[in-house]
Amino acid sequence: MNSIVKPLLLQSFRTGGLYLLIIALSLAISATTALKFSNTQVQNAVTLQAAEMLGADLVLSDQEPIQSNWLQHAEKLNLQQAFVTIFGSMAHTQDQFVMVNVKAVDDSFPLRGKLEISPQAKSIQPGQVWLSPRAMDLLHAKLGDQIAIADGEFTVTGVIEHDSNQELGFSGFSPTVIIHRADIAKTNAVQIGSRIEYRLLMAGLPEQVNAFQQIFKQDTGHEQPLDQAVDQQIENTEQTSLKLRDASQSNTRLMKPIENLDTFLQLANLLTILLCGIAIALTSQRYVQQNQDHIALMRCLGASKRQILVGYMLLLGIVSALSIVIGSLMGIALGYGLLQLMLQLIPQLQLSFAMSDLLMALPIAIFTSVMVLIGFILPSIWELLNTPPIRVIRQQVRSRKSHIAMFAVGVASLVIFSLVLSDNIQLSLLVLSAILALCAVLYAVIWLLLKAIKQLKHPLSAYVRIPHQTALQITALALGLSLITVLSVLRTDLLERWQQQLPEGTPNQFVYGLPPFDMPQLKQQLEQNQWQSTPLYPNIRGRLIAKNGEAFAPELIQQNNSLRRELNLTQSAHFPTDNVITKGAKEFSQVAQVSVEEKLANELDIHIGDQLSFSLPEGTLQATVINLRAVEWESFSPNFFFIFSPETMDENAGSYLGSFYVPPAEQAKMVQLIQQFSNTVFIDVGRILDEVKRLMNVLVQIVTVLAMLVGLSGILVLIACLNVLMDERRKEVALLRSFGIAKNKLKRMLSLEIGFIGLLAGIVACLFAEVISAIASHKMQMAVQWHPEIWLILPLTMMLICTLIGRYRLSYLCDIPPLQSLREINQS
């Protein structure tokens, strides 16, 4: 057996095919290992960033003290714990009285993020109080002053510069003060009927957090719904049920960007796998071509198929072992390097590097190696075993069945390879199906086009050698190029999406509970200050009780929270600017008409023309549904499930709400506004907005780094594609030179041919990129966009690159004697 393995090793190393195979296989292992490792770390880091806005990984809240069984569950899971109690009370000095939001914390608060106090302090002591800047201004207080909160006296010892536990909703309205939990009793502010919220903050490892969530789901029998907007969160304060929120549920404005980042990470992983698969396929194809004559010679010398098969299996075992070792080490180093690079570029990230994470890379590396060997190399080895001895004296053209069989096995293994390593099976299936369908269709179209050009007997026909081979090269080149382009295009689309979500002048103040008699005056104040604002909407509380005269089924009421509570209802002649009418009339035409939010309408089976009945303080209201709206709940503007036509309700029966933007330099004017409208709640979301922007900036930088890394790996694959394309033309150049074709004409012909292939590949790559990015955009719930710039840049750039490569990469062959060139080719 050694007599077989040794010649195989020597021949493989002599031709260079084995080196390239080990490099390609190591690249596949290292790329998948690094992305798997780094993706997990990045997702955990982003989750930690989102957790800073909650002050913990999980928050269990109730309007009653947290039951001891939940504390026991948290202790068993070794979760860190902190306790917070929140209630409203009156704070006052000798001259000033202000309604404040009191947050009573213990020494462990916060578990995530930072509580920045000026002057610096680690924890609050009993008898002390920390005030938000707005509370300081309203109370005209300074450090060292004494203020009263209900019946308790406190000394001001700090100003709250940054509180990581920032949330929207009534419980988070400003101004805020922080005291120690031990001081709650001395305030006497908590009485029967008081609005109070008890919170248990928890933090720990992802598996600990997930375990607590599962326990909560099992014990309560349901999952908590996500808060959707400021007005929804205000409504939710009237619920008394136990609620569990994680980092993403603390603010839905974080949920969609994090989901988009997760989809982007999965797509980057999938595209890298595809790029590695292309590299392996090209390398194994080249390896087969280089060893066909050698196997035929061994067959002539009496070697059996079994001997050759065993010899190649041992050879591949050596290759696989070397690749696993090299690829695993490279993958771990690349993953670690990626994390360090992100830490340098994005200092806000908190990344960990555990030995268990490293050991998890080994099974991935082994699986990658086995799948690549089975899918891309063994079919090629099988073809080598069937090489007839006559190959030594006569070239054999592969049968079409052989091509189809190898292609089918390779595609099947690539699909399995991609699906197993992907965490998003649906996205992977969609992308892979689209790529395979596009490859098949475009290959057929390009082949027919090239075949038609060749049959024209036109001077251009001379540049089309073998139509089916050239079509395959163009398709492969275009696929590799498009996979690079997709991430760049998606990155741009994500940036536009996030910028649109938080444009300049995004409202940072909400006004809630504005009495109708104060509405004209507040509107006048906003206009005088030239503060950009949304309309002030009348806000009437009401319940949806029936549809077409029939009450909703008890099962539906139990399933849908909107049927179990009062809703914020409004009426307006115009819809919010970020609402989109998806079905029905564009505007109201008469009294007693209503517009319904699309998702809620689908949940409650509400259709255009239905009669809805609402219970209001003044009686029952009936209205006809005239349209459905898509609502952007993530926007920092008031949104409503139901909007009625003007004059349908009595606007004086409720209050008004709206939002407006106060420039940072004019924040001091808010103190006067709050004092002027003392009966109104002003919710300051400026700090939350800053946190969302900061997290978005982190996501943008992560997306940029990943796009760059996948782009670099894609460039390596493009080089491999071009190398194969060049290798196939080396022999043609030598033969044409031996027939006496002039050097300049040959160089010009090669340049035009390779440039033509590059141009077609660039055009096809644009189509690939548009389709794949459209699928990804749909999964990210973003509008599908076309990118005209790539249709201009990509084909021209690819044509230029290929022309230059075709001219200078093969030009040296035109300058050496044809006999010498043929000898070099035969020896390779």
How far is it, in rounded angstroms, from Cα 600 to Cα 772? 31
482 contacts 790 by C-beta, under 8 angstroms:
no
How far is it, in rounded angstroms, from Cα 261 to Cα 267? 10
Question: Could you tell me if 750 and 796 lie in one domain?
Answer: yes
- Residue 239 is predicted with a pLDDT of 43
User: Which residue is associated with the tokens 């090489």?
Assistant: 387
148 contacts 98 by C-beta, under 8 angstroms:
no
Question: Could you tell me if 272 and 174 lie in one domain?
Answer: no
- Residue 170 is predicted with a pLDDT of 42
Question: Could you tell me if 663 and 777 lie in one domain?
Answer: no
Question: Could you tell me if 496 and 519 lie in one domain?
Answer: no
Residues 6+ apart with CB under 8 A from 639: 229, 231, 576, 578, 579, 597, 631, 632, 633
**In the listed set 199, 215, 250, which residue is the last one of a domain according to the structure?**
250
Q: Which residue type occupies 419? A: L
Question: Could you tell me if 689 and 654 lie in one domain?
Answer: no
51 contacts 185 by C-beta, under 8 angstroms:
no
Which region, left, alpha or beta, applies to residue 14 given φ > 0 means left and ψ of -120 to 50 means alpha?
A: alpha
- Residue 20 is predicted with a pLDDT of 66
Question: Could you tell me if 70 and 43 lie in one domain?
Answer: no
152 contacts 688 by C-beta, under 8 angstroms:
no
Which residue, among 194, 199, 181, 207, has the nearest Cα to 250 in the 3D structure?
199
How far is it, in rounded angstroms, from Cα 450 to Cα 454? 6
Segment (H or E) for 69? helix 68-76
Q: Which residue type occupies 199? A: R
pLDDT < 50 positions in the chain:
1, 168-172, 222-240, 392-393, 397, 827-828
Which region, left, alpha or beta, applies to residue 144 given φ > 0 means left and ψ of -120 to 50 means alpha?
A: left
How far is it, in rounded angstroms, from Cα 367 to Cα 16? 25
Question: Could you tell me if 40 and 142 lie in one domain?
Answer: no
Question: Could you tell me if 303 and 412 lie in one domain?
Answer: yes
Whether residue 554 is preceded by a cis peptide bond, meaning omega within 30 degrees of 0, is no
Residues 6+ apart with CB under 8 A from 417: 273, 277, 368, 371, 372, 375
Question: Could you tell me if 627 and 702 lie in one domain?
Answer: no
> Per the structure, how many domains does the chain have?
4
How far is it, in rounded angstroms, from Cα 476 to Cα 718? 9
Residues 6+ apart with CB under 8 A from 316: 373, 377, 378, 381
**In the listed set 384, 408, 423, which residue is the last one of a domain according to the structure?**
423
User: Which residue is associated with the tokens 């993403």?
Assistant: 248
Cα 523 to its chain centre, rounded Å, is 40
Q: What is the DSSP string of 314-374?
A: HHHHHHHHHHHHHHHHHHHHHHHHHHHHHHHH-TT------HHHHHTHHHHHHHHHHHHII
How far is it, in rounded angstroms, from Cα 236 to Cα 195? 13
Sign for the CA dihedral angle at 281, 286, 291, 293 comes to: positive
User: Which residue is associated with the tokens 């080990």?
Assistant: 22
How far is it, in rounded angstroms, from Cα 364 to Cα 324? 10
Question: Could you tell me if 470 and 568 lie in one domain?
Answer: no
Sign for the CA dihedral angle at 129, 134, 139, 141 comes to: positive
Question: Could you tell me if 792 and 700 lie in one domain?
Answer: yes
In this structure, what token pair is assigned to residue 755? 């440039």
In this structure, what token pair is assigned to residue 596? 């319904």
Q: What backbone torsions phi and psi does residue 91 show, to the nearest 5 degrees?
A: -105, 140
Question: Could you tell me if 86 and 227 lie in one domain?
Answer: yes
Instruction: Give the three-class secondary structure for 487.
Output: helix
Q: How many CB atoms lie within 10 A of CB 801?
A: 17
Residues 6+ apart with CB under 8 A from 455: 461
In this structure, what token pair is assigned to residue 364? 């991935």
**In the listed set 423, 442, 467, which residue is the last one of a domain according to the structure?**
423
Sign for the CA dihedral angle at 422, 426, 432, 435 comes to: negative
- Cα 29–Cα 31–Cα 32 angle in degrees, nearest 5: 70
- pTM > 0.75: no
Expressed as residue numbers, the domain containing 526 is 509-680
